[in-house]
Amino acid sequence: MKMKNLKKTEISTQKQHSDYESCILCHRQLSVLKKQPIAFRDYYMEGCGQLCYACYRMLFMDADSGSGVKR
């Protein structure tokens, strides 16, 4: 009986995880729901996907200090 409960929990957890975005660079699970419109998301790159704050900062904010991607 415990085995059945464990499987239900696993399936429930997998479903919950699949409802959330992952960062396109580091694949970290984010707290952004996939169904949230992109207009209301932070760190979303249209045509690429969702970034976490750390990857967004690495790519764009650190560009000012010379260590990120130049725009």
Report the SS3 class of residue 18. helix
pLDDT digits (tens, 9 = 90+) for 12-64: 555 566 899 999 999 999 999 999 999 999 999 999 999 999 999 999 887 56
Return the higher-pLDDT residue of 71 and 20: 20
pLDDT at 66: 60
Q: What angle do CA 25, 28, 32 make, to 5 degrees?
A: 100
CB 34 within 8 A of CB 19: yes
